[in-house]
């Protein structure tokens, strides 16, 4: 666990309430998830990992290194937070993936599921494109969305109802570089 001085150095002097998931715990869970995902798909069938940017970029990078099978990676960008700490509920599609989706196994990778608005916007869009299968993987799940268009098959951690930063998660583009996940 990093010291308070190390945390302040990484956050530019900003205080965090607490470290919710330490670096080693995240690494272990991501490795386990990668092995589970690799075992779930036939090795001879096309798998597309579709990460949601920007928050999932570190998670996707670490996860795919633990999926011991051929795969492709692309990203999709949907925005709903802006500078706030609560989802605006208005999900905008900012970047559409260039990878073909039809006939492929697609694994949508999210950093965090909270309101569910992003998932509810992206899942119908992806289903319209005719994937062979569509599954969801999330590093964090707050379990506060009333109903999701697609329940995650893989979840790293059940997250507390706090605003979390680090390991790709941000507040106004800050804190993504933290190797742990903390509560502001």
Q: What is the DSSP letter of 48?
A: E
Which fold does the domain 22-164 belong to in CATH? Rossmann fold (3.40.50)
Please tell me the predicted confidence (pLDDT) of residue 50. 96
- Kindly give the confidence (pLDDT) of every residue in the chain, 184 residues in length, as a single tens digit, with 9 standing for 90 and above: 787 787 777 777 777 889 999 999 999 999 999 999 999 999 899 999 999 989 999 999 999 999 999 999 999 987 665 555 555 456 667 667 778 999 999 999 999 999 898 899 899 989 999 999 999 999 999 999 888 999 999 999 999 999 999 999 999 899 999 999 999 8
List the catalytic residues. 114
pTM for the model stands at: 0.89
End-to-end CA distance of the chain: 17
CA distances to 11, 18, 56, 59 from 14, in Å: 5, 12, 23, 23
Predicted pLDDT at 154: 98
- H helices of the chain, in order, are 4-10, 23-40, 57-64, 117-127
Look-up of token digits 């670490």: 62
* CA pair distance 44, 94, nearest whole angstrom: 32
Q: Which two tokens stand for residue 84?
A: 């706030």
């Amino acid at each position: 666990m990093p010291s308070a001085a190390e945390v302040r150095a990484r956050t530019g002097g900003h205080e965090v309430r607490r470290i919710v998931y330490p670096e080693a715990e995240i690494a272990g869970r991501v490795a386990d998830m990668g092995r589970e995902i690799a075992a779930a798909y036939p090795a001879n069938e096309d798998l597309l990992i579709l990460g949601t940017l920007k928050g999932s970029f570190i998670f996707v990078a670490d996860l795919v290194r633990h999926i011991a099978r051929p795969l492709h990676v692309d990203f999709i960008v949907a925005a709903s937070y802006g500078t706030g700490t609560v989802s605006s509920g208005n999900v905008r599609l900012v970047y559409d993936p260039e990878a073909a989706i039809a006939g492929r196994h697609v694994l949508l990778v999210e950093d965090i599921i909270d309101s569910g608005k992003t998932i509810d916007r992206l899942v119908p869009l992806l289903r319209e494109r005719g994937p062979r299968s569509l599954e969801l993987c999330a590093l964090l799940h707050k379990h506060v969305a009333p109903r999701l268009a697609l329940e995650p098959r893989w979840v790293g951690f059940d997250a507390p109802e706090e605003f979390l930063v680090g390991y790709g998660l941000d507040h106004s583009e800050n804190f993504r570089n933290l190797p742990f996940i903390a509560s502001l």
